[in-house]
Structure formats: structure tokens, C-alpha cells
A and B are shown apart, each in its own frame.
Chain A
């Protein structure tokens, strides 16, 4: 007997749900976790402020807040909501928890230095990050036409991952790759899923993450900024 002819399969053949069910995941989690959205928004503001501050303590706090966001989106959205309709989402949920553990270790153990960048660049970084994390959640709203589907940092995975990658650029290059592996895998998985679903607006989320991640792998801060 011949084996499986994989060339006869398309991405959508591996998808066992439609866009309606997927977009409803965002509405459902927002209904169920209220009022934790307020905490998520506050966390975004705090992270932006910490990026502007740039002290070693601020960096540790950023990483701890990122870790909390990965736990929230991994254990909540991926394992509780997305996993039941798409098994690999559950596996990613566990990987998100592992990433959160790594971030926590990095926050508590790594000997962080003062950020070498000047105050103007720190303000740019903080506000640039804030703008990105404010705009990305609206993509799901635009795709679904429903404000209740807003995809917040710390609650939904794509925005959490996209928002984390620029912060991970703070890390020394020799360890940064370890933290960028999961964002890379997630954005590939997410991009394939969203492409097959035909939710083209949402495709911006993993695409942005992919660009940022590849930048993170290649980008080397100027020597006076590098901690290597």
C-alpha cells in the first residue's frame, strides 16, 4: 500500500474549526475574566513606564510582568479556551508556562546593568511599545466587528507574544535566542492557522512578531549598549 501523499493536502485540511468559533474565543474569554482586563491595561502602562525608566530593577520588573502575561495567556486562553478546539494550542499553553518560568529566572537571577541608551531613546522605546500594544488588540475587533473581542496583552497569546519580543531585545544577545525560540514557533503556528482560517487582518499579528523576532535574532546593540 502506498503512503500518505502530503502534497495533496492544503493548510485548511488540518484545521478543524472555522473563523466564527475562533473569533468567539476572544469574546468568551473577555466575558469570563472581567474585570481582569483593567489589570491587563494597567500592566501595559506600567511596562511602558518601566521601559522609559531603564534601571536594572525596572528591567527585572518588566520581565516579571511579561512572565505573568505569558502565564495568563498560556494557562487561560490557550489551555482553557483554544485547546479544546485545537489540540496543539494546549501544547503551546505548556510551552508558554515554561517561557514564563524562564523569564522569571532571568528577572531574578541575571545581573542586569543600567540601560546605556539616553533618556530620549528610552522615551521613544516606551511610547513606541505602548503604541504597538494599544493598536494590535484592535485587529481582532476589526476582523470580528465586535468590541468584546478585543485581544489584550496578558490575556490573548498573539498580542502577548508580539508585545514581549521588543522587550526581549533588552536581553544580552548570547541568551536572547533562548527567549525568542517560542515567539518564533508560535508566530509560525499562528500565521499558518490564521492564513488557513482566512482571517487576513489578524495575520498582521504573527507577521509583526516574526519580523520583530528575526530582528531580535540578528540585531546586535551598539557596543556601548551591549551587555555582552
Chain B
């Protein structure tokens, strides 16, 4: 039986098909390959979009919000994400993550990245143990010294723990562009697997020295605050995406901001945070399709700076 379509219906159907092809859920379901980057020290490949838990997963004993966050994590895994990052600094976020992983029975799907956050340089193992109990994991895939706090003793212990097989990778973190000089010195001297730093379309100081250094030293880079704590959306969401954004593989602002970050050759993954399944789906759109090239990246940065 022939189906007659009006011109308007035909165009609507074509648009819907085009839009649906851009939906990360369909892309994941259709077997489209997620964009991955190798961890330089091992060659293990990681999806370029991870998930942070700062502020978003600290919901205490709120069962309703716990359920909502579990939904966000579920969608993250469904759309091909693996790396989740948390810290003892983030209130109840580690407990909430543990409960969500239990509910989803997803301990084997997560690349668990956590941090050591204590001034007591002798407390590395104790804090790692406490965090593992909260997450419900046997060991962390990645354990990082948070914000360079007491980094020397913690890093020494983390090296021992890695040698013993109690963690798989070690790293060190900073944020908000702080202490880059110190971080560079550590990157030059220590055998790091990962560094975590703030990098986004507006905060680009890391491009000057840290990202080239990471590339040179074979250190994986996790970019935090990819949306500048949400302020990029507050500033630009009402603005139109440039006409050429599609050519750069971006169909919304979340993809635009994230693809700018992960298209830098030194960046291994970005860790946006969200409390909404819908936003998670937008974020995970950056895990698929093409990435902007060097010229397009320049164009993206110029466009945002010019708004």
C-alpha cells in the first residue's frame, strides 16, 4: 500500500530522521563507535566523555534524589560512558555513587576514579579504604591527589599501591586554573598516569604549557569544569549555534563545549556533571560523530569569544 505524504509531512519526517540520527541513544544502539582515547601509560582506551559528581551527587539521605541520580548514571552507562570521578571532599557523593552502582549492578562497568583529600600525609591508605567501602569497589581504577593537597606523601603511597596492584593508575588534580606552575613541576618529575585540570572553551591557559607537557610526558588528561560550573550555558545558551557547528559535529551547545575540549589531542576525557537525564543525553552526544579539526577549534573559540 502506497502512503501519500504531503510536502510538509515529508519534510517533517526527513527532519525527524536527521534529528534521530544525531541522538546518542540511537547512535549507541545502532552500534556506532564511541570516540575513545588511549591512556598513554597503558594503551587502554577510554570514552572521551566521563562524568563528574561535584555538587550533583551529594544528596545525603534523600531517597527521591538518589533515585534520580541513579537514573542519570544509568543513562550515562547506556550511552557508552565508563569513567566516573568523585572525591571525599564532595560530601555524600561517594556513598550515593556506591548506592547507585549497587542498584544498577554496574560495578564492572565503571572506570572508578577517586581522590585522596586529606592534609594527613599518612592517611592515604585509610582514606582509599574508606572510599572503596563507600563506592563498593574492590579497588579504584584511578586514584588522584586532590588539589595537590599534601601531594608528596600521598603520591609516594599511591606509587606503592599501584606497584602492589591496589590501584591501576595514579594521578594528581587541580581546578580553576590554580597552581599550574606546581602541577607542571610535578608532571615533569613524577611518573603520573593522569592529571586533572580545568580546561574549557574560555579557560584555555592549560593549552600554553600543561597540555603540551602532558602529551610529551605521556600523561592522560581529564578536563574538569567543562562548562565552567554551568556558567557557559548561562552566558551562551540564548545565543544561536553558528551555522557551521554541524560541520564540526555539534548539534547543541553541550556538544559544542565538550567537543571543543576533547578534540584537543592531549585531552583524554572531559567530566561534565549533571542532575538531569536530558542533559546527560546532550552531553553524551559529544561521544559520537566527528570531532572538530584544528581550524574548526580555532573558529569555535573565536565565535564564543566574540559573543
Instruction: Report A's interface with B, CB cutoff 8 A.
Output: 1-2, 4-5, 8-9, 12-13, 15-18, 20-21, 24-25, 28, 81, 84-87
Instruction: Report B's interface with A, CB cutoff 8 A.
Output: 54-56, 58-62, 64-65, 89-93, 148, 176-179, 181-182, 185, 229, 275
Of all chain B residues, the one with the shortest Cβ separation from A12 is B229
Q: A16-B90, A85-B92, A87-B91 are in contact. Are A21 and B179 (CB under 8 A)?
A: no
User: Do A81 and B176 touch (CB < 8 A)?
Assistant: no
User: Do A15 and B176 touch (CB < 8 A)?
Assistant: no
- A24: min CB distance to chain B, Å: 6
Instruction: Pull 24 A–B residue pairs with CB atoms less than 8 Å apart, ordered by A.
Output: A1-B148, A2-B179, A9-B176, A13-B176, A15-B55, A16-B54, A16-B55, A16-B89, A16-B90, A16-B91, A17-B58, A18-B55, A18-B56, A18-B275, A21-B60, A21-B62, A24-B59, A25-B60, A28-B61, A81-B60, A85-B58, A85-B59, A85-B60, A85-B91
In the docked arrangement, what's the CA distance between A4 and B148, Å?
10
Of all chain B residues, the one with the shortest Cβ separation from A2 is B182
User: Do B55 and A1 touch (CB < 8 A)?
Assistant: no
Of all chain B residues, the one with the shortest Cβ separation from A17 is B58
User: Do A1 and B58 touch (CB < 8 A)?
Assistant: no
Chain A binding surface SS class: loop
User: Do B58 and A16 touch (CB < 8 A)?
Assistant: yes
User: Do A8 and B60 touch (CB < 8 A)?
Assistant: no
- B109: min CB distance to chain A, Å: 26
Given contacts A1-B148, A24-B62, A85-B59, 7 further A-B contacts (CB under 8 A): A2-B179, A16-B58, A17-B59, A21-B59, A24-B59, A24-B64, A85-B92
Q: Please, which residues of chain B bring their CB within 8 A of the CB of A16?
A: 54-55, 58, 89-91, 93
Q: Please, which residues of chain A bring their CB within 8 A of the CB of B93?
A: 16
User: Do A17 and B91 touch (CB < 8 A)?
Assistant: yes
Q: Please, which residues of chain A bring their CB within 8 A of the CB of B64?
A: 24
Q: Please, which residues of chain A bring their CB within 8 A of the CB of B55?
A: 15-18
Of all chain A residues, the one with the shortest Cβ separation from B148 is A1
The 8 A-B residue pairs whose C-beta atoms are closest, nearest first, are A84-B60, A85-B60, A16-B91, A85-B91, A17-B58, A1-B182, A16-B58, A84-B92
- B139: min CB distance to chain A, Å: 25
Name the residue among A1, A17, A18, A25 with the largest chain B CB count within 10 angstroms: A17
In the docked arrangement, what's the CA distance between A81 and B63, Å?
12
- B274: min CB distance to chain A, Å: 11
Of all chain A residues, the one with the shortest Cβ separation from B56 is A18
Of all chain B residues, the one with the shortest Cβ separation from A24 is B62
Q: Please, which residues of chain A bring their CB within 8 A of the CB of B182?
A: 1-2
Partner of B91, one of A9, A20, A86: A86
In the docked arrangement, what's the CA distance between A12 and B229, Å?
10
Q: Please, which residues of chain A bring their CB within 8 A of the CB of B275?
A: 18, 20
Q: A16-B89, A85-B91 are in contact. Are A5 and B178 (CB under 8 A)?
A: yes
Name the residue among B55, B65, B176, B177 with the largest chain A CB count within 10 angstroms: B55
Q: A1-B185, A15-B55, A18-B55 are in contact. Are A8 and B65 (CB under 8 A)?
A: no
In the docked arrangement, what's the CA distance between A25 and B54, Å?
19
User: Do A84 and B185 touch (CB < 8 A)?
Assistant: no
In the docked arrangement, what's the CA distance between A87 and B93, Å?
13
User: Do B58 and A21 touch (CB < 8 A)?
Assistant: yes
Q: Please, which residues of chain A bring their CB within 8 A of the CB of B185?
A: 1
In the docked arrangement, what's the CA distance between A86 and B90, Å?
9
In the docked arrangement, what's the CA distance between A28 and B62, Å?
8
Q: Please, which residues of chain B bring their CB within 8 A of the CB of A84?
A: 60-61, 91-92
User: Do A2 and B62 touch (CB < 8 A)?
Assistant: no
- B136: min CB distance to chain A, Å: 18
